[in-house]
Amino acid sequence: MLTKTLQLIFGSAAGRQVTLSMADPRDNLTEAEVRAVMQLILDKNIFTSCGGDLVTIAGARIVTRDVTDIIAA
């Protein structure tokens, strides 16, 4: 089974990186769409972390994992 996760990486007020992960991102996401959503998160101050508010866009990536069950539950 192949799984994909979209990871949005932000810088916090304390200088730490904070990653927000979302399962099953759409296949045809563009950089512009992801950047716009990340900027909206910053502008609206939607999330905070133990390092304070999210203040910068540090990056975004799609992580793909291939999981093979040996024994199915």
**Does residue 71 form part of some domain?**
no
Are 21 and 5 within 8 A, CB to CB? yes
Structural domain for 38, as ranges: 2-66
Q: Give 4-8 contacts, CB < 8 A, sequence gap 24+.
A: 4/62, 4/63, 4/64, 4/65, 5/62, 5/63, 5/65, 6/34, 6/60, 6/61, 6/62, 7/60, 7/61, 7/62, 7/63, 8/34, 8/37, 8/38, 8/41, 8/60
Express each pLDDT in 17-67 by its tens digit: 999 999 999 999 999 999 999 999 999 999 989 999 999 999 999 999 998
What integer pLDDT is reported at residue 20 of this predicted model?
97
Residue 38: inside a domain: yes
Within-domain flag for 42: yes
Please indicate, yes or no, if residue 10 is contained in any of the structural domains: yes
How many domains, in total, are found in the chain? 1
Please check whether residue 72 lies inside any domain of the structure. Answer: no
